[in-house]
Structure formats: C-alpha cells, structure tokens
Structure 1
C-alpha cells in the first residue's frame, strides 16, 4: 500500500495569495493594453465632433470606414481636437464625406470647409492607431503625435510623419515626362501623371511639369495654417472636384496614390 507524504496545509495558503496576485496583475496588464492600444469600440463622443474649427489650436483630421477604429483620437482631446469624417455614413459621426480617393477626400474637405477658420496646426492621419509606416518612432499615431515637436512644424510649415525616405524618395518616385513602356502599355497612372499634375496645379503648358517627383510615403503629415493658406481656396476646390469626377474612371487607390505623391508639393515643398 502506497502511503503519500502529506504537505503542511499552511504552505498552500501562502502560495494562494501570490498566485491570485499574479493572475490579477496579468489580467489588469492585458486589459490596459487592450484599452490603450486596441481602443475598445464605443460610439464616438458627439460633443467632440466639432463642425467648426474656430478657436481650435491643434486638430487631427482623418477619414474612416466602418471597419476602422478611430476612437484613439478622442484620447488626444483636449490638446488635439479630432475631426473624423465617416466615409460609410456611420451613425454618431457628424462629419461625412463621399468614399472616393481614399484619404484625399476628407483631407481636402476639411481644408475647404474650414479655410477661413483653420486651426494653428493640423495633423492629417489615417484612422487606425497602428500604422506600419510609423516603425521608426513607434507604430501608433497617438504615440507619434504626443512626441511631435510643434516648434519644428511651425518652422517648416509642412512635416511628413514618416522618418524614412523609403519608399518614395530614392531618389525619385515618379518621372512624369518619362514613363516606362510597360506603364504606357498598361495605361498606368504614371503614364498620365504629367497631365494630372498640370490639371491639379493649373499649369497651362505640360512641359512646365517637373521632370522628377519624389515623396515620402504614406499620406500622414502635419501642416500649419499659414502653409495651407499659401494656396487660394479655389486650388483645393479644383483638386477635390477632380477627386470626385475628373479622376474617373481611375480607382480609389490610384486617386489616393496621386495625392500621396503630391501633398508635399501642394503645401509648398519642392517636387523632390
């Protein structure tokens, strides 16, 4: 007959509080991570969806689909005021735009709607907090914006939120006057880039379009009010009109890609 050795009961009681503490600590850590990073989906606080930018110093502008979670932007309030445009007509969002041209539509719409009452600094970003192209600073937009040097933005007027020149500026991204044979045969957007550029910037002679255009990806940037106002309102209206109708039959991706290559030029930077 096997006779087991009985352990003192007190030893079990000593370990139970420690085990409970470890389990509780793990649970709280995971819960905090989910709330902080994944932003558990809740209806947007309508009080923060402001139709008017008057008096706003720092603004976050984005467009979002139903499948994207933009609630992280509300955690930036009151330092940053979010202007979130629903492209899928979601309830609870007071700002809505046509789902065309990816981020170009909400970006241009914000500028047009608030041209005469722009915030001091505007961050144009994507809806999901985690973005692969933020990898040099930290993958999360809230992390990037909280560490943004506003004095540098004021000095430069326009700052791309990506810290690497690649992809996009190695050393050029588009050759408007010299598309490849394949691009021409496929009627790729690059083969028509010179004419698109001329239309967007109201250039009469296509020969005046730059021969090289290089831009850092990925359509996330910060701009000052003064830099936005360097262009007349009519420029932004013409650009948005092209997105809505003049760009057809181009698909949304290609329309967004065109603006991704041109945002820095739109806001006063050289083509490369």
Structure 2
C-alpha cells in the first residue's frame, strides 16, 4: 500500500550549503568572471595590434644616431652592481651598439665571485663603485659606465622609454668625455636644483638621509683637503653614471680606498650610507655640489632625443603624468582593473580612449624628437650649453 502524499509544508527541507561550499562557489564565480575579463582583454589587444601604444613602443628599437667616428675607438667598461638573483642577459646586445665594451659584473652577495665588494650587502652600489675604481685604477678604460642590474628600473627616464638598454645604446660617448662625469638620468624630479640641504636637522627634514649628509661629506672629503661642506647637494638620482678615465684619475687611488672603508666601517645602516653617497658622486668627480643639466637639452645632446624646446618637453612630461594617472585609475598595475570595469565600464572605456589619444600624441612627439636627434647640428648648435637655459 502506497504512502499518502506529503503536504508541501511537511516536505523535508532542502539541505543548505555549508559555509565552506558557499565560499567555494563565490570564489569560482569570481574566477570565472576574471577569466572572461582576461579573454576579453586578449581579444581586444589582438584586434588592436597596431595601437598607439605599440607604435610608441616600436620607436625605442630605432637605430641610435651616429656620433663622431672617434667614439668607435673608445674603450668602455660597463660595471654592474648586482645580486646573484639578478638577470643581466639584456646587457649582451649592447655589444652591437658600444664597440670595445667589457661587461664587469660585481655580485654583492657572492664573496666567491670574480668581482665582489670587500664585505657582502653593505653600502649598496656605492661600495661596489669605489671597489671598482681602486681595483681598476691602473687599467681604466676611456669611459666607465656604472649602473644597477635592472633593464627597466623605475628611475629610468620616460623620455628614454624607461629602458636602460635604450639609454646605453643611445648614449653619446663623446659627450661623456666632454663633461668628464655624466649622470645617466635627466629628470630633476626629487633631485634638482636644491634637493639636499646639508644644514637641515632631524627635526627639520623628512628625507631620511638629509640630516646625515654634513657628517658624511666631512668624513669622506675632509681627509682629502676639502675644508667645507656645500650647503646644497643636488643632481639626478639614482647612482647611475658614466665617467671618464681622466675624471677618475684626478683623485688618488687611496681616496677611493678611503671611501670604501668608510662605507664598510660606518655604524649607520646600509640604506643611509648608500643614500648619502648617491648625493656625493658629482662632487667627487666635478668638485661641485650641484650637477643639474637642463633636462630637454641633455636628452638631446647625450641621447639624440631632441624635443622642440623646453615647452614641448614640458608637454611630453604632462602627457606622461596624465597617462600614469589614468592607468592607476583603471587598475592597470594590478587585477583591480577587472573590478574597476565591472563597477563602471563606461568610465574605464573613456579612460582607455584617452590613453590611446595620449599615446598617439606621445608617439608623434617622440618620432619627431628622434628624427631631430639624428642631425648632429641640432644636437650641438641647436642645444648649446646643457647647463644654461
């Protein structure tokens, strides 16, 4: 005999998902949405293979300008301050652009490597640089270029495609010889014309190394006859520069050994001693507290990136900042872009359109700047003294 039908109100309740199952479902839905979003971006990028961004990026692969024929005979050491984990394979292709190039890799955390500082992980790149100057003092090349390991560091100039490969492949070696010492960065941001004031106290300064600068300068230079501390120390960041043999030999080898010992023996933190030296290299090689060439001029003379004057360079910089702000707003640097578009797709679409418009303008300006830079007269007569406005 069959059981009587149950009344709907008496039917057994459906089993409820556990919190664990509910969490998994939400995670699955989020993952699925993210997957769809990334597929959509891939299709979008494929359909826009000749986007303004691609056109702008392609310009950095153009051949650099031809500098004087004498530059092909110059010997160059590229000195890299690295860690064991750093990938420096990008430097190999520089041999195609810099004749007579020798790559010398110092490894800070590998005492058994051929080139290493006297103690590991102390003094940042400064200890490696001074170790190099003292070690190679009697057999220096015409030009030494001293840099960090990374091809795209945050501090590389936007006008140089934020690329150390572009920077070095376009570097005018004759200009380096002319100046003796040349910072590889052009930007005045957090640098010029008066970034470090050596009279500031701990209470007056928000820059961590600034209150240490007067003591650091005196301890490094007073033993070598410098009886004063410059009030202002200024120059583009961030301890990447080229220097001639003559500029290095203008100081005795013992001075570089003294600077290295100071870095090793200082009780200050690795960060502070490294940062203090970032602001003193221009004094070491030029005897001047400030080294601030005009940005648009030095970009033209030293790299062949010749904007049509200060006004056009300012416009380039303004466009670059606006693009950066739009990227941030779209979550370009993270997965936040997905959520930003989900929340307000129209806003993100408008931002993408404006970024394309900006990059179209930037590509046009950069193309013209590189074309001007191929003309030696523009690089020389059209720019004049890089230190005067």
1:198–1:205 contact (8 Å) kept in structure 2: no
Confirm whether residue 101 of structure 1 aligns to residue 123 of structure 2. yes
TM-score normalized by the length of structure 2:
0.51
State the alpha-carbon separation in 2 of the partners of residues 219 and 203 from structure 1. Answer: 23
The offset of 1:189, in angstroms, is 3.7
Structure 2 match to 1:148: 171
Cα distance change on mapping 1:205 and 1:263 into 2, 3 Å: closer
The one of 176, 195, 198 aligned to 2:215: 195
State the alpha-carbon separation in 2 of the partners of residues 106 and 224 from structure 1. Answer: 17
3-state DSSP class of the match of 1:85?
strand
3-state DSSP class of the match of 1:155?
helix
State the alpha-carbon separation in 1 of the partners of residues 84 and 233 from structure 2. Answer: 34
Greater C-alpha radius of gyration: 2
Specify which structure has the higher proportion of helix: 2
TM-score normalized by the length of structure 1:
0.71
The one of 263, 270, 283 aligned to 1:243: 263
3-state DSSP class of the match of 2:175?
helix
The offset of 1:67, in angstroms, is 2.9
Confirm whether residue 84 of structure 1 aligns to residue 105 of structure 2. yes
The offset of 1:180, in angstroms, is 5.2
State the alpha-carbon separation in 2 of the partners of residues 259 and 236 from structure 1. Answer: 12
Worse-matched range after superposition: 173-182 or 132-141? 173-182
Instruction: List 4+ stretches of structure 1 deviating above 3 A.
Output: 186-189, 203-207
State the alpha-carbon separation in 2 of the partners of residues 75 and 175 from structure 1. Answer: 40
Structure 2 match to 1:61: 79
Q: CA RMSD in A?
A: 2.9
2:235–2:279 contact (8 Å) kept in structure 1: yes
1:197-249 residue CA offsets vs partner (Å, 9 max, x unmatched): 1110125999721111112101111000000111111111110000111x21x
State the alpha-carbon separation in 1 of the partners of residues 208 and 162 from structure 2. Answer: 31
Question: 5+ residue gaps in structure 2?
Answer: 1-45, 47-60, 62-72, 291-389
